[in-house]
Structure 1
């Protein structure tokens, strides 16, 4: 089983519960540790969460075993791994691959491929914790946690907007400004289960962009999300009158050079508290997007 230890160094006594929260153990995970087979120890002896800790005491938390779902089929398709340690796995998702299984893509979504990798490598925990997701047609960096505690840590960073995601995309036409901030709420488009739109009653959404290459009929943008709404980049750029090339849902149905929306998650940066380092992962530009840029620049 997976365990973690921390030494308490301050002089004021502290409850075990409070010290656990300070080290990233959420209420949900604490309940699982208490009731699903985990352990809480101070100086190698089992203790309750209302125990008081003194300076020099060592808290050890043993995570409960995680039971995987038999409904998640393990796929043999290889992964393009960008970063891996005992706690996190970061992969480069190809376009045309769903992030999670569904009735349309039950056996070879990215989650299936990650489970297959965990099984093949005899990972101690074979539960797939997907942290960030991409649309099926979008390529690039996707972040997984290898255990519940690591997932809790990254969920907290997501809620606090500490995970930085940078995209590149190609849009129709040229924006008047090379740098801009789109601050417009997003909600469901009336009459559609899938499509989103800018709506006054939607959820707050903030997208920052830099126009890095102007081409005769298109532009290459670098985009950073400051919120994480469904289809956020696609909706915001469409609202400006510049949909992504190849975007069948918000723009033109087809493009001769790319058969999906021209969107790629190129960079994800997060803090790894287990090694106390910032981790930044880059996914190279896929060939179809590179070909599109070359074609548009040559017009």
Structure 2
């Protein structure tokens, strides 16, 4: 077992395997990336509270403060500017499971293939090239997923959701107040559900997609670049659109309470056509 208390900038290189990483930080920046080499922890900035690093039985734990119950949490309540800010980068094997929590700040996760849970209270989440089952939740701020595959669940209370270059077979994106923007390149059989209470939804899929589509808005307008979809609602405002694209093997369902929905068709270039089975 290795335990270190880091109270000044330094790099720690770990001996032994890491199959799980758990991070709990209060305020600052956190980067978690995949590596082919030994696991390491880089702390480039330390606030008033040190960073604790523990490696035991294949589990890597990085924490800024161990909070026990509400009493411990309430000691930290107050202006965010008073919270200690840290910059921490963690490199682990790609197949390591990750459980990452940051109260205030920016969190980036990149290249991981194992299951990942990411949670930020206020700030920003960026996911790049993840391949496993990924859950990301942020209360106030934006979440962005780039080149993500596998299963993806994105949730915000107040903030935008952006998903680009995705081949995820299972997508859930939900926001209470904020827009959802998706550029999808999904395999056949994909399941995509997008929901917003207050905000618009923009989705772009390949022109040759195989999807069963249902789009609905309570107060807004639905527009589509696919003429094969049926529209309902009465001109000039269309509030429902549904139909089948290609074989309809996958599913795309989008719903907005207060906001418009746009479904765009992306042309298929020669290279993409050559990759189709």
TM-score of the superposition, structure 2-length normalised? 0.23
More strand per residue: 1 or 2?
2
Work out which of the two has the higher radius of gyration on C-alpha atoms and give 1 or 2.
1
TM-score of the superposition, structure 1-length normalised? 0.22
Which structure ranks higher in relative contact order (CA pairs < 8 Å, sequence separation ≥ 6)? 1
